[in-house]
Amino acid sequence: MSLPRLEIRLDLIRHNAEILVGRLAQRGIEVCGVTKATLGSAEVARELLAAGVTSLGESRIDNVEHLRQRGIEAEIMLIRSPPMSQVDRVVASTDVSLNTELAVIEHLSASARRQQRNHAIILMVELGDLREGIMPSDLLEVVEQVLDLPGITLRGIGTNLACQSGVIPDASNMGQLTDLTESVEAAFGLKLSVISGGNSANLGWALSPESSIGRVSQLRLGEAILLGRNPTDRTGIDGLHTDAIALLGEVIESKDKPMVPAGTRGQSAFGAAKQTQGADGTEERIIVALGRQDIDPEGIVAPLPLTSLGASSDHLVLTSMAPKPAAVGSVIRFTLDYSALLRAMTSPFVARRFLQDSSTDPFMP
């Protein structure tokens, strides 16, 4: 089997999704299952749908089209504002998109009319994280204009926190989303059906018994399902698997080497070189055939007794506490954070192996 490769345990992903769908249902919240970190994997999408998500979320139209070509017919929401240059493709292959710009929505409307289709939108509101969103004070004016556009249905409003500035969803910003929902409904005499409260970082708030959920009716979840972790502090979520996805790489060098570099030192290939403290002597070092073209070196965790010392384009260097840690040709299994996962999934050099029932797989450790 080819290396490096991701091993994706579909049964564990399904379990994570089922648990979250069930817990959130008790709070009146449905789940949009986000596949963007998997490059629009149809295998993963099918598990999410089987687990009860009500729609799929994708950030890129290429991934959406890939899902459609692979036979996924479920509702797909584009979770990044449609680029104006792609509105025809967005109307053709998605059902709903998150939007912040009236000019884009006007283009979506024109395209929907040309294609004799209807396109639903959710207006994103800026609630403090300073990534996408209409300023709350401008929301009513945008709604008024959107309601006049043929081919466009205003399905609801939403927000996204924690991605750009790490702002944590709480009673205050989520309460604001409910208040805005009610002010839109009162001003225009309509009912918004989806209030899309945020991403995996919302789970702490959404699942806390003290929280008042208000009108929030949907969360868009990617990381929590795939990695089983809470993105605000990266702790494992109770009852979820944190090992559903692993990256396997091959050892291409294994040697005893000095602990400190020799010679006059300038910058390394990727900027300032780490200062290495004193210690004479040698240590076991191995090199794995993985690099920045495949992973984010900060986001990869090696199994004990190995520790990563960093990576250049094609070499991941590790040190070991124990002697003779790994022979040339052996395979190391790493765990990944979201950033490393994203990079590995989008690297053309990394293969993927989907495991349907990982407990009976002969190759699992």
Ligand X SMILES: *Cc1c(COP(=O)(O)O)cnc(C)c1O
Which residues of the shown chain bind ligand X in the complex (CB under 6 A)? 34, 36, 59, 79, 160, 199-200, 220-224, 231
Residue of closest CB approach to ligand X: 222
Please state, in angstroms and rounded to a whole number, the distance separating the CA atoms of residues 137 and 145: 15
Residue 338 Cβ vs ligand X, minimum distance, rounded to whole Å? 7
| Cβ-based nearer residue to ligand X, 38 or 211 | 38
Name residues whose C-beta falls within 8 Å of residue 5's C-beta, 6 or more positions apart in sequence: 247, 248, 350, 351, 352, 353
Residue 102 Cβ vs ligand X, minimum distance, rounded to whole Å? 19
Sort 30 into a burial class: Cβ within 10 Å, 0-12 / 13-18 / 19+: middle
| Cβ-based nearer residue to ligand X, 109 or 199 | 199
| Cβ-based nearer residue to ligand X, 124 or 306 | 124
| Cβ-based nearer residue to ligand X, 90 or 332 | 90
Residue 330 Cβ vs ligand X, minimum distance, rounded to whole Å? 32
Residue 237 Cβ vs ligand X, minimum distance, rounded to whole Å? 12
Residue 98 Cβ vs ligand X, minimum distance, rounded to whole Å? 6
| Cβ-based nearer residue to ligand X, 247 or 286 | 247
Name residues whose C-beta falls within 8 Å of residue 305's C-beta, 6 or more positions apart in sequence: 320, 321, 322, 325
Please state, in angstroms and rounded to a whole number, the distance separating the CA atoms of residues 65 and 72: 10
> What length does the chain have?
365
- Left, alpha or beta for 117 (phi > 0: left; psi -120 to 50: alpha)? beta
| Cβ-based nearer residue to ligand X, 34 or 96 | 34
Please state, in angstroms and rounded to a whole number, the distance separating the CA atoms of residues 185 and 180: 9
| Cβ-based nearer residue to ligand X, 220 or 285 | 220
Residue 236 Cβ vs ligand X, minimum distance, rounded to whole Å? 15
Residue 132 Cβ vs ligand X, minimum distance, rounded to whole Å? 7
Beta strands in the chain, from DSSP E residues, in sequence order: 5-9, 30-34, 55-58, 76-78, 96-99, 119-124, 152-158, 194-196, 218-221, 229-230, 235-236, 245-258, 282-288, 300-301, 306-311, 316-320, 331-336, 351-355
